[in-house]
Amino acid sequence: MADKITVGHVHMSGCTGCLVSFADNYEGLLTILDKYADLVYCLTLADVRHIPEMDVALVEGSVCIQDHIAVEEIIETRKNAKIVVALGACACYGNITRFARGGQQNQPQHESYLPIGDLIDVDVYIPGCAPTPQQIRNVCVMAYLLLKGNDEQKALAGAYLTPLMNLAKAGTEACGCDVMYNVINQGLCMGCGSCAAACPVRAITMVYGKPQVERDLCIKCGACYAQCPRSFFSFDVVNQYEGIIDAIDAALQP
């Protein structure tokens, strides 16, 4: 199809779990590749060796600043992509690579890792460790509508992606502490428990209706805060939930 967008998967210091999550859309991924997107770069799946131009770069992993090839690749990615998406918690927030401190064979000087947003401008965040297949799917469909849709579809896609773009503007640090700093301490927590459900390592329990964060378990992925309905909540988007879910389902029909 002529009006497909071009998408690349760029693998920095990640674990490929983000790509597996993308693949875990099963037939949905095949439909996306059939109708909406050409995968122009992905070392795991295709034999293109160098980062080409692309509409959307899905970047997973953080950047080791002692690895000059990694630094060159993230800069190259920004130059070659219209939209840079930080896919997953490592790219967004550093995640487990925040705990890296070098001293291991056979690159003991590989000790400093930064989320990609500390080296280049990032347009959209998809947090989560792993990010969910459904969130990646939604962003792909919305990115297609933003670039190729009619005016109405562009407006919807813009509204949908705005919170994920705002997360990208908000910074590169995340922690279970975010639900303390930005929700409880701000007088916004109402005890729904979303943060506890979202945490991949069960570091959050609800004690007398409020989040209790076990910070030594937290891997700094940012899922709790992003999932919290009192981090961002757009009535414009969420009030249309039926229509949006139906539209995404329809878009993914083979």
Partner 1 sequence: MVLGNYKQVIAARSTDAEILRGSQDGGIVTQLFAYALDAGIIDGAIVAGPSDEPFKPEPMVATTREELLASRGTRYSISPNMSLIKEVTRSYGLDKVGVVGTPCQIQALRKGQLYPVGLRDVPDKIALAIGIFCMENFPYQSIIQLVEDHGATALENVSKLDIGKGKFWIYTERGATVQIPLKVTHKYEQPGCHVCLDYVSNLADISTGSVGTPDGWSTVFVRSANGDDIWAKAIAAGAFETKPIDSVKPGIELVTKLATEKITKNQQYIEDRKTKFTVGKELRNPYI
Q: Residues in the site for partner 1, rule: CB under 8 A?
A: 21, 126-128, 130-135, 138, 160, 162-164, 166, 182, 186-194, 196-200, 206, 208-210, 221-224, 226-235, 237-239, 241-242, 244-245
Q: Which is nearer to partner 1, 70 or 221 (CB)?
A: 221
Q: Which is nearer to partner 1, 140 or 189 (CB)?
A: 189
Q: Which is nearer to partner 1, 104 or 205 (CB)?
A: 205
Answer yes or no: are the C-beta atoms of 45 and 53 closer than 8 Å.
no
Min CB(2)–partner 1 separation in Å: 30
Min CB(190)–partner 1 separation in Å: 4
Min CB(212)–partner 1 separation in Å: 11
Q: Which is nearer to partner 1, 70 or 126 (CB)?
A: 126
Distances (CA, A) of 219 to 7, 8, 102, 174: 29, 27, 18, 9
Distances (CA, A) of 197 to 15, 193, 203, 223, 241: 23, 6, 10, 10, 21
CA-CA-CA-CA torsion sign (218, 219, 221, 223): negative
Answer yes or no: are the C-beta atoms of 36 and 44 closer than 8 Å.
no
Is 2 strand, coil or helix? coil
Pairing between strand 113-114 and 63-64? antiparallel
Min CB(111)–partner 1 separation in Å: 29
Q: Which is nearer to partner 1, 109 or 239 (CB)?
A: 239
Reading the block at residue 77, the tokens are 């990615």
DSSP 129-169: SSPPHHHHHHHHHHHHHHHHS-HHHHHHHHHHHHHHHHHHH
Q: Which amino acid is at 224?
A: C
DSSP 187-211: T------HHHHH-TT--EEEETTEE
Q: Which is nearer to partner 1, 56 or 189 (CB)?
A: 189
Q: What DSSP character marks residue 32?
A: I
Is 146 strand, coil or helix? helix
Min CB(38)–partner 1 separation in Å: 26
Min CB(76)–partner 1 separation in Å: 28
Q: Which is nearer to partner 1, 20 or 46 (CB)?
A: 20
Min CB(143)–partner 1 separation in Å: 15
